[in-house]
Amino acid sequence: MRLKTIATCLLFICLWGVEGVKAGSLDDRYGVLDLPSHIKYYEVDERDRVMLNPYLQVATKRHKAILDPSTPAYDWVIDAQGNVRIIEMAPHPRGRSYSGRFTRPEDGYTRELGYVERYGHVSALGGEAGRIGGEIVNDSQSKQWVVNNKSGRYSKRKIDRTTEQLGYAAARIQEVVDPGEGQEWGAVVYLLDYAPLAVRQLQMANPLIEYIDPESEKRPYLLIEPIWTKK
């Protein structure tokens, strides 16, 4: 994902048409606890238990997670206690191999030959309920980490995963995650394809909307700022 740096273009965007934000409970800040929308066939062991990612880091102020600047991306999700859980996008030992193009039955996504099935967001929580989630993507050109809300399990179509929840989550991530030597925090990107349907429809009228694919106006997003709280 190619984005401008915060220094030149980051815009503060609250929910379009809604005034003010507040720092309330964990539900207010990071969304209510909700089970993942689905679990993929290969993500469970022989006893049908969701396997944890072996590179899981639970980030707190006392024990920060550390990002590797050579890693292209991480997944993140906020747990029941408001902790940030960070996982590497590693291949899954029970992932399937296909001889050609296929459509995955769990989520309907079509994949090409050579696609590697990997640990997903559910492997950060063992399949348990979580709050908002997304990705931390390495923009190697600017040496910045870009935070977004791209999680099909814990963000997409969930009713309260708005710009505010991502703003609070981004602030928490920056507070408890070490970006690594030579890296810094960059843009916070709210992907409208992973927003609640009502929020997406409302935000499509926002004049500050941008597109990852401008020519076709596909994959719309908004740049937002972290929302800091004293709590």
Here the tokens at position 46 are 């022989």
Residues 53-97: pLDDT tens digits? 999 999 999 999 999 999 999 999 999 999 999 999 999 999 877
The answer to the question of residue 27 being in a domain is: yes
- Compute the Cα dihedral for 159, 161, 164, 168 and give only its sign: positive
Q: What is the DSSP letter of 98?
A: -
Per the domain annotation, does 14 fall within a domain?
Answer: yes
Q: Could you give the angle at the alpha carbon of 109 between the alpha carbons of 105 and 115, nearest 5°?
A: 100
Residue 128: inside a domain: yes
Counting beta carbons within 10 angstroms of the beta carbon of residue 139, is it exposed (0 to 12), middle (13 to 18) or buried (19 or more)? middle
- Report the pLDDT value the prediction gives residue 25, as an integer from 0 to 100: 93
Who has greater pLDDT, 5 or 147?
147
Joined together, the tokens standing for residue 14 give 């609250």
Q: How many domains does the chain have?
A: 1
Q: How far is CA 2 from CA 45, 55, 188, in A?
A: 37, 27, 13
Check residue 196 and report its DSSP letter.
-
Is 103 a member of any domain?
Answer: yes
CB atoms within 10 A of CB 32: 16
> Is the residue at 90 inside a domain?
yes
- Enclosing domain of residue 193: 6-224
Of 104 and 3, which is predicted with more confidence? 104
pTM of the model: 0.85
Residue 164 is assigned to a structural domain of this protein: yes
Identify whether 130 is part of a domain: yes
121-139 average pLDDT score: 98
Is residue 229 domain-resident?
no
